Amino acid sequence: MKNISNTPVHAQVLRPGYDRTTLADRIVHLGFGAFHRAHQALFTNEMLEKTGSDWGICEINLFGGEALITQLREQDHLYTVAEKGASATEVKMIGAVTGSLHPALDGKQAVLAKMTEAQVAIVSMTITEKGYCADPATGRLDKENALIKADLTHPHDPDSAIGYIVEALRLRRELGHKPFTVLSCDNIQENGHVARAAILDYANLVDPALAGWIEAHVTFPCTMVDRIVPAATDETLTEIAKLVGVADPCGIACEPFRQWVIEDNFVNGRPAWDQAGAEFVADVVPFEEMKLRMLNGSHSFLAYLGYLGGYDHISDTMTNLSYRKAAFDMMMQAQAPTLKMPEGTDLESYAKLLIERFRNPSLKHQTWQIAMDGSQKIPQRLGASLRHHLAQGTDYRWLAMGIAGWMRYISGIDEHGNPIDVQDPMAAQFRAIYEAHEINPSVVKALLGIEAIFGSDLVQNEALVADITTAYELLITKGAKAAVAAL
């Protein structure tokens, strides 16, 4: 098979300039998805170029993606990232990956053995919000989660990421190895704290003494990650093949912009990612909240209302002046006032930069992709800001419309009567509610009453229920384009 490991590639591809044979599996990463390939692995690749250190990454997919891991192995763990600007594209070959595992290919014990190796200093994760098996309303472990319930019956043979981490830490303690740092790189507010709570809650159920050891010896830094990385499509891979000169099924395309802010709290050493542009800080929370609310919150707003309005991609929504203005107003009037940023932070410039990033026509970021797993995203992206405005008595119309757009989207039927493929861990519950109410304004209160998403307080606020109901009524009578224009 011809691939990038054994075939000459085009001269414009930036190839690793360091000796890959000197790298060690010092980072184990759970979730070899599109975002990780274009973000943390790329940062590591560029750090290696500048430092000559030995921080290699062993990639692990716990669920699905067996073919991707097999393909990665066939090309010596090399793959390409195409950074697509509005007018130019830069292609980089990533060499930071040193190994890969998958429980379906290699067995669970092989995964645990790798996580237990003495040189492993960091276990990082991009497993999406649902991978933490946490209750979105409380941030604590969801003990009723099917994966968690199963893992608790056989904790030495886990399935969940939480179960793997706790079992690997148990084995390290038994062997006398140093613990590793657990580094969450998912778009979750205070992601390190969420990871810590879920892991400690689970460990306490398995072995309180182990939980005490983890609490005393393991660190869980918070991080803020930012880069727009659409899911790979056949079109993307065809374009990458032309740019590289050979097919790369592991290749990925993304925007040129990237940001990584990391709490500097590592128990067993860390790479000098700052040499590649990452920023180590004492407190990530303000940066997390800025990104989650202004970028991710407006992304969700555009995803639901854009999909309903007939737009396939985020850049398509930006061709509509009403959507563009609504997204900017969402950032500046609904989200920015809720933030407490370090002195000198220019939120208006940040909002303008985000609009330009959204307008990038080279990125085909699907509204459907961003709309996935809304039940896990709405609390962080829209809920906290909504509570701020309710407490202050200030304008939250954009947040109300965003939530109404989500409610209309999860009905599973678009404005033309076509089915919507709603991907969400709570999809069955949504279907049951819609079977009872159909596409009718009465559904608003029923959905707002889902405590796992909205807590128990919001549905009690009659004015809020009325405002979201009004927005929902506008969506079903006039459609998404008219509803957004009305903002």
Kindly report, residue by residue over 271-284, the tens digit of the pLDDT: 999 999 999 999 99
The pLDDT of residue 4: 82
Distance CA 215, CA 219 (A): 8
Helix H segments across 138-233?
Answer: 146-153, 161-175, 191-206, 208-217
Residues 45 and 56: beta-carbon distance below 8 Å = no
Considering the entire predicted model, what is its pTM?
0.86
In which band, very low, low, confident or very high, does the pLDDT at 80 lie, cut at 50, 70 and 90? Answer: very high
Using alpha carbons, select from 44, 117, 98 the residue that is nearest to residue 271. 44
Q: In this structure, what CATH number is given to the domain that contains residue 260? A: 3.40.50.720
> Do 275 and 315 belong together in one domain?
no
Determine if residue 14 is left, alpha or beta; phi over 0 gives left, psi from -120 to 50 gives alpha, anything else beta. Answer: beta
Q: In this structure, what CATH number is given to the domain that contains residue 346? A: 1.10.1040.10
CA distances for 72 relative to 60, 119, 384, 447, angstroms = 11, 23, 40, 42
| Crossing angle (nearest 10°) for helices 321-329 and 397-409 | 120
Q: For residue 469, what are the domain limits?
A: 285-486
pLDDT digits (tens, 9 = 90+) for 397-431: 999 999 999 999 999 999 999 999 999 999 999 99
Quickly count: other Cβ atoms within 10 Å of residue 228's Cβ.
22
Judge whether residue 2 has pLDDT over 80.
Answer: no
Using alpha carbons, select from 319, 322, 320, 317 the residue that is nearest to residue 299. 317
Question: What H or E segment, with its residue span, contains residue 367?
Answer: helix 367-371
Question: Over pLDDT 70: what percentage of the chain?
Answer: 100
The verdict on residue 80 lying in a domain is yes
What's the total number of domains in the chain? 2
The pLDDT of residue 138: 82
The verdict on residue 9 lying in a domain is no
The pLDDT of residue 286: 93
> Do 320 and 379 belong together in one domain?
yes
> Do 432 and 361 belong together in one domain?
yes
In which band, very low, low, confident or very high, does the pLDDT at 1 lie, cut at 50, 70 and 90? Answer: very low
Which whole number is the average pLDDT over 210-233? 96
* Residue 365: half-sphere exposure toward Cβ, Cα within 13 Å: 28
